[in-house]
Chains A and B, each alone.
Chain A
Amino acid sequence: MNRRMGLYLAAGALALPLIAFPAFAQGAVGTEWRWLTFTVFAAIIGMTMFVTYIAAKRVKSAADFYTAGGGVSGLQNGWAIAGDYLSAASFLGIAGLISLYGYDGFMYSVGWLVAYITVLLVIAEPCRNIGKYTLADILAYRNDPKKVRVVGAISVITVSTFYLTAQMVGGGVLVKTLIGIDYEISVIVVGTLMLGYVLFGGMVATTWVQIIKAVLLVTASILLVMFVWMPYGFSLPAFLQAAVGDAKVQAQVATLLGDASKNMTPAELGQRFLEPGLLFKAPIDQISLGMALVFGTAGLPHILMRFFTVPTAQEARKSVIWAMAIIGGFYVLTLFLGLGAAMNVGAANIRAVDAGGNMAAPLLAQFVGGGPDSFMGNLFLAFVAAVAFATIVAVVAGLVLAAASAMAHDLYVGVIRSEHVTPQEQVKAARIATVIVGAMAIAIGIAAKGQNVAHLVALAFAVAASANFPCVLLTLYWKRCNTGGIMAGMVIGTLTAIGLVLVSPNMTYPKAIKAAAQKVVDGAPARLAALNDALASGDAARVARAEKDKAGLEKAVAAAQANLEKFKNDNTSLVGLEEPLFGLKNPGLISIPLGFLAVILGSLLYRDKRAEDMWDELYVRQNTGILAAKAHAH
């Protein structure tokens, strides 16, 4: 039955883009090249569907569904972790940030790799040694299972939902920008495909989809970098020299710096692109975000879950090493992708397609292939677009599996049924939960259309770092940690992180927007007069500059008036504030220490004999892998 349903689903998913044909708007791909894009998309989707079909036969038990039966090798898991982690935000987003802001974009990428040191040193192996399917399994080992499963599952579902929403909305926008399919249809296509992989192939299919996607992503990046770097004989200084000497790069720096750039020579402007400060203005915010990344990754449920798929702690270790090699190598490549896009495509052209810079890598692909009118250019663009699409589907699949396992394994089997279920019921519960989470992901994706969800990824990391990470770390390494600490840490960590974001500058503050817009409108006549003087001056250079400034001014005034109109009747943010109560965009700096403090105080104030009695067993097992290793040898 499964097989036939899988085929129907595959046919349906492949047909969806075809139904979507009449719904085209304008995308980055020219209309006459759409057939090429769809051929490449169909090839990649077909490959993942085939893998799911094979995998579906192997998924029989709950262990197969949640953890691929623990039969994934370290190398495979390393690629799958990279596939899980390199989301569209990090692949397209960081290349885009570097193409627009130079150095700051590259600096941003470092934290994403350093995060894996935490995973490698303190999380991966102990979790493999004592865990089973979910994050809450680790917490339930020596604490009151029902209580910690409830708070653990809620936190996992919260983190996954934030991350999922960002992926679904980002993915919908991305597919629309790239190939012009309607937003709603792209969300449904992504959701349906992902549901197909997870529902039929469980963790086996999810792992392989992630591996395929990671291999494609790395291949595409290496190819692009080869093309961009080759003209400079693979010399780093020569490549950088070309970047800082490029007129488009210098123009972008002049735009970013505004009046401050007036006395700078072109060479100084170009060099400035490789210096810090073009994007990040608040150092404390940077440090706060860094903390959320470095400690949050180790608390991300879909990353933790990957360590239950390998047979031993040694394989878990090997998989993090591989993941670090792949992820780190990839981020080094983004430096070349970003700078290559900045000088070959140009920031102005990148921003014309997408203001956030997300189209830098795809546009660079089109350029190196020969440009918008060439076959190779469009083939490259189609390939990068298809990889970006596969990226979203693979990341979403991992997230849905993590959320579904918390729902089915922790809440239903662990709490509602008190572990009294047959193996068949377990698999059934897992599949039903998958459908619920998948349907929820599609519904949220459509409902959140047009919302600014970029900060939701940072929020997911902040909750993971403030709630999940302190709880997992202290239950593994601190003898006195107990049920009271886990409950307090999960609740306070999650609530502080979310609460601080709700009152932070991330939210929309109509009053501030209106004040800024009013200032632009009020100041416009004086500036216009000055520009008109310049236009009348007769000096060719001054006239040219004034004409450009005048066009910019008119645009700014129009945008300001639109904002004044949009927020005419609004004065407060979502939670009723006129201005932010809390100055940081990322809550990590405050919420992570608070999360740790909550676990410590909660544990000290609570008496829990079981947690103390079980300590020796947990500590010996997490350090040595006794029983885990034995079971494997049998």
Chain B
Amino acid sequence: MSTAALAGAAGQRAPLNWVAIDADPRFQSLHQKKVRFLAGLMIFSVAFYFLLPIGAAYFPQLFSVKVWGPLNVGILFALSEFVVAWAIAYYYARRANREFDAMARELIADAENIGRQS
């Protein structure tokens, strides 16, 4: 029901002052932290991913170096892609759960008052 209720709830309540919320220092702080964090993580993950096809294509000798029995650098690197993807997901979720969600909750609780004091 939440999506259906959403339109109704938004219609009944006095409209929020979005410009003021956007300008609120707490929102600005959330926005800056989030954008910096997400952009950094995104660039790192894309770069790390493309190392795999690039490495396989241009450094096949390196990928063929045996590390442990028949286990070679190429297989370890491909497996590391999985581990890194999971680590990024875990790292993001931890930061979002602990930090971003708390900052957002504070804004949600205060949203109706922002920009209306005067």
Residues of A within 8 A of B (CB): 61, 63, 67, 69-71, 103-104, 106-107, 110-111, 113-114, 116-118, 120-122, 132-133, 236-238, 240-241, 243-244, 270-271, 274-277, 280, 283, 286-287, 290, 294, 308, 311, 314, 317-318, 320-321, 324-325, 328, 331-332, 616-617, 619-620, 623-632, 634
Contact = CB atoms under 8 A, between A and B. Distances in A.
> Is the contact region of chain B dominated by helix, strand, or loop, or is it mixed?
helix
Contacts of A71: 1-2
Contact of A274 (B6, B49, B74, B92): B74
Given A110-B52, A314-B101, A627-B10, A103 B75 contact: yes
Interface residues of B, number: 60
A321 B89 contact: yes
Nearest to B42: A121
A294 B49 contact: yes
A320 B19 CA distance: 31
Nearest to B100: A623
A290 B64 contact: no
B25 interface: no
A17 B107 CA distance: 57
How would you classify the secondary structure of chain A's contact residues: helix, strand, loop or mixed? Answer: helix
A64 B3 CA distance: 10
B74 A276 contact: yes
B75 A274 contact: yes
Contacts of B53: 107, 280, 283, 286-287, 290
Given A132-B3, A286-B56, 7 more contacts: A104-B56, A243-B70, A244-B70, A275-B63, A280-B56, A290-B53, A324-B86
B27 A623 contact: yes
Contacts of B58: 283
Contact of A623 (B2, B34, B68, B88): B34
7 contacts: A103-B75, A117-B45, A280-B53, A286-B57, A616-B19, A620-B27, A627-B10
Interface of B: 1-6, 9-10, 16, 18-19, 21-22, 27, 30-31, 34, 38, 41-42, 45-46, 49-50, 52-54, 56-58, 60, 63-64, 66, 68-72, 74-75, 78-79, 81-82, 85-86, 88-90, 92-93, 96-97, 101, 104-105, 107-108, 111
Contact of B38 (A116, A122, A238): A122
A508 B5 CA distance: 53
Contact of B3 (A67, A113, A317): A67
A617 B34 CA distance: 17
Choose among A71, A118, A236 the residue with the greatest number of B CB atoms under 10 Å from its CB: A236
Contacts of B6: 627-628, 631
Given A623-B31, A626-B111, A627-B10, A114 B49 contact: yes
Given A61-B4, A237-B68, A117 B88 contact: yes
A114 B85 contact: yes
A277 B54 CA distance: 12
A375 B48 CA distance: 47
A328 B82 CA distance: 6
B116 to A, nearest CB: 15
A625 B106 CA distance: 11
Given A106-B75, A314-B101, A630 B108 contact: yes
Contact of A275 (B1, B5, B64, B97): B64
A324 B82 CA distance: 9
Nearest to A311: B2
Nearest to B73: A275
Contact of A324 (B70, B81, B85): B85
A625 B1 CA distance: 16
Nearest to A620: B21
Nearest to B81: A110
Contacts of A132: 3
Given A61-B4, A121-B38, A240-B71, A629 B18 contact: no
A238 B31 CA distance: 50
Contacts of B68: 237
A111 B52 CA distance: 10
B85 A116 contact: yes
Contact of A626 (B5, B54, B108): B108
A479 to B, nearest CB: 10
A277 B56 contact: yes
B21 A241 contact: no
A632 B85 CA distance: 31
Contacts of B96: 317
Nearest to A309: B3
A487 to B, nearest CB: 25
